[in-house]
Amino acid sequence: MKITHAELSKSAVRHIQYPKDELPEIALAGRSNVGKSSFINRLIQRKSLARTSSVPGKTQTLNFYQLNHSFYFVDVPGYGYAKVSKAERKKWGPMMEEYFESRANLKAVVLVTDIRHEPSNDDMKMYAYLKYLNHPVIVVATKTDKIKRGRKHSHLNRTIQLLDLDREDTIIPFSAVTGEGKEQVWNHIEHYLFS
Ligand code: GTP
Ligand code: MG
């Protein structure tokens, strides 16, 4: 998909601050620093609309990016970062639960994992939670530019096994650096947004 218009419309920590126009949404989920914001930038071909950082914990609010005036990507703070203060972590749970459990126009969740590593306990919990809520999930195994080609297949299979990936869900190898997987990801996202 060609993105001709992109803007950060809202940063929210509570339901009352979410956009009210009822456009369909795709949300990101994943460990802190895994590459969620970089994923958004690569998909929409903007270098730094979504703020990224080599320091974990960059994204701290739900950020609603409106695209082509027709849908949103929702960038979400990552989980599993130990150095975030206890007070911050306490806020994170309710903020995420309120979003994932109440957002009617959420069409699918992109769960970003790191292709170099096995899914963490938090990744497995997150996937199970999203399935419990009946959200379709696209697993994006990112940073393929960091592993040897030959190892990709076994990494993907291991992730499928450990997450216990549903038959309706899909896993796509991806790199924000090379753009690998971008077209395939868009095909799935468009399917969930507009069908
Ligand atoms: P939080 O907002 O802290 O939850 O992090 P995030 O998941 O949004 O991660 P972000 O996109 O900020 O990326 C974290 C780091 O990983 C940055 O240094 C990125 O440049 C790097 N990175 C992200 N995607 C890729 C990728 O596909 N390949 C490589 N080599 N590096 C990547
Ligand atoms: Mg981020």
DSSP string, the chain: -----EEEEEEESSGGGS-SS---EEEEEEBTTSSHHHHHHHHHT-SSSS---SSS----SEEEEEETTTEEEEE---B--TTS-HHHHHHHHHHHHHHHHH-TTEEEEEEEEETTSPPPHHHHHHHHHHHHTT--EEEEEE-GGGS-GGGHHHHHHHHHHHHT--TT-EEEE--TTT-TTHHHHHHHHHHHHH-
Percentage of the chain beyond pLDDT 90 is 76
Instruction: Check which CATH number belongs to the domain holding 90 and give it.
Output: 3.40.50.300
Of all protein residues, the one whose alpha carbon is nearest to atom 24 of ligand 1 is 35
For the CA of 41, the nearest ligand: 1
Q: pLDDT at residue 80 above 80?
A: no
pLDDT tens figures, 153-189 = 999 999 999 999 999 999 999 999 999 999 999 999 9
Q: Which domain holds residue 27?
A: 6-194
- Assess if residue 129 is contained within a domain: yes
Q: pLDDT at residue 24 above 90?
A: yes
Give 83's pLDDT tier (boundaries 50, 70, 90).
low
Of all protein residues, the one whose alpha carbon is nearest to atom 21 of ligand 1 is 35
- Assess if residue 159 is contained within a domain: yes
Which is the closest atom of ligand 1 to the Cα of 174? Answer: 27
- Assess if residue 177 is contained within a domain: yes
- Assess if residue 1 is contained within a domain: no
- Assess if residue 83 is contained within a domain: yes
Spell out which residues line ligand 1, taking CB within 6 angstroms: 30, 32-38, 52-54, 56-59, 77-78, 142-143, 145-146, 175-177
Number of folded domains in the chain?
1
Q: pLDDT at residue 150 above 90?
A: no
Give the lowest-confidence range in 72-86, 91-105, 116-130, 133-147: 72-86
